[in-house]
Amino acid sequence: MMASICISWINILVVNLNNELQMMGVNYGQVADNLPSNDAAVNLIKSLGAGWVKIYNSDAGTLTALAKTGLEVVIGMSNDEIPSLAASSAAADEWIVANVVAYVPATNITVILVGNELFADPTNSNIWPQLVPAIQNLQASLTSHGLSSIKLSTACEFNILTSSFPPSAGVFNSQIAVPVLKPLLEFLDKTSSYLYINIYPYFAWADDPSSIPLNYAVFASLAATLTEGQYSYTSLLEAQIDAVYYAMEALGYKNVRIALSESGWPTAGGTGANIRNAEAYNNNLVTYILSGKGTPKRPRVFIPTYIFALFNEDLKPGPATEQHWGLLYPNGSAVYPISLAGGSSPGDPSFPLPSPDGTGSNSDLPPGSPDACGDRESVLPLSATFLGMLFDLRI
């Protein structure tokens, strides 16, 4: 059982030699009053090893700093920009000229996300039907400027699924499924774009830490924690992604790809929100994504992923965790060791964790179970900093 898990991991690394660029992205949010300059931030993004950066707007200073950096850039916009773009193809063209044509090719804008978590707030429901028309107007403008290689989509919150467990029960909110998501998926399918979705196993786990093993949430499970039919899940994220694939299939779209516009783990402000768990989750996420392993339902389908977030953002409103998602402090120091290029991560997706701050459990790890993937100590980055965090900061 253990052995077969390890063998399949190795096979995947071998057969996944295709030509698709496989890198990690990071969300460069700037809801803060103490961040370094855009130029300094770009250097930090590069030193982390990210290949892609996502911003939430089309800020001139940021886009200029991202020019000629080799980074590919995803730009966004606020939900309230959607109605005018839907109403007028001239307005959509003006938007593309001001926010895209002005910066390419020096700044390599490759994706435009039209709105962010548009469906999370029911007071936006008047905007929902305008999403696809806005996207279509923007697409027509891109084409007219010879920029049709730039992909369009929107960043959805995971709660567009009203059911996600077990994965095959994945289904979209019926209020938006047929009127909004079906035409969106039709567009994404035709243009080979992606359904961008923000998925945080942290929130699912923190809602129910007594029934969801922490190791399953942070990719540190040695054994399948959930089995459904022919599919076995060793990580919660894979099960959540498959739930989205099932929901898309239920609407008739079997081939649309998924990209994770946000995923991450907070280091303070909530249950299990600490440096130890965040370090485990994000390093294991990088290893998992860059392996190209895909999910049980769509094996070896790469999932472009943008970690949330580059910096701790001190002005983010909302729950106490909101200001603590950063890989970096505002002064540029790493909150914990991580490389988005892979390599300095634990290397083995299944290194087990002791139980953190009394919550969660290792119940998926039989006591004394043999470590079939080899000496787990040898794959842990036991740097002085890492040990310092283990013993000083977490408990």
Ligand X SMILES: *[C@@H]1O[C@H](CO)[C@@H](O)[C@H](O)[C@H]1NC(C)=O
Distance CA 142, CA 100 (A): 9
What's the closest the beta carbon of residue 52 comes to ligand X, in angstroms? 9
Pick between residue 105 and residue 370 the one whose CB is nearest to ligand X: 105
Pick between residue 17 and residue 21 the one whose CB is nearest to ligand X: 21
Active-site residue, selected from the candidate residues 72, 81, 262, 313? 262
Amino acid identity of residue 70, one-letter, is G
Helix (H) or strand (E) holding 91: helix 89-96
Distance CA 99, CA 63 (A): 9
Please give the radius of gyration of the chain, using alpha carbons only, rounded to the nearest integer.
21
Amino acid identity of residue 47, one-letter, is S
Taking CA 221 as the corner, what is the angle to CA 377 and CA 54, rounded to the nearest 5 degrees?
Answer: 95
What's the closest the beta carbon of residue 62 comes to ligand X, in angstroms? 17
Binding residues for ligand X, rule: CB under 6 A, are: 21, 72, 105, 108, 110, 329, 331, 333
Tokens of 69: 């950096």
Pick between residue 72 and residue 279 the one whose CB is nearest to ligand X: 72
Pick between residue 22 and residue 362 the one whose CB is nearest to ligand X: 22
Active site residue 117: yes
What's the closest the beta carbon of residue 109 comes to ligand X, in angstroms? 9
What's the closest the beta carbon of residue 59 comes to ligand X, in angstroms? 20
- Phi-psi domain of 333 (left: phi exceeds 0; alpha: psi -120 through 50; beta: other): beta
CB 387 within 8 A of CB 358: no
Whole-number Cα distances in Å, 196 to 140, 181, 261, 305: 21, 12, 5, 9
DSSP, res 330: T
Give the pairing of strands 194-198 and 226-228.
unpaired
Distance CA 391, CA 395 (A): 7
Active site residue 238: no
Active-site residue, selected from the candidate residues 81, 117, 238, 279? 117
Our measurement of the distance from residue 157's CA atom to the centroid of its chain's CA atoms, rounded to an integer in Å, reads 11
- Residue 222: CB partners within 8 Å, gap ≥ 6? 2, 5, 215, 234, 350, 352, 364, 365, 369, 371, 372, 373
What's the closest the beta carbon of residue 242 comes to ligand X, in angstroms? 27
Pick between residue 45 and residue 243 the one whose CB is nearest to ligand X: 45
Pick between residue 68 and residue 254 the one whose CB is nearest to ligand X: 68
Distance CA 49, CA 111 (A): 20
What's the closest the beta carbon of residue 71 comes to ligand X, in angstroms? 9
Active site residues: 117, 262
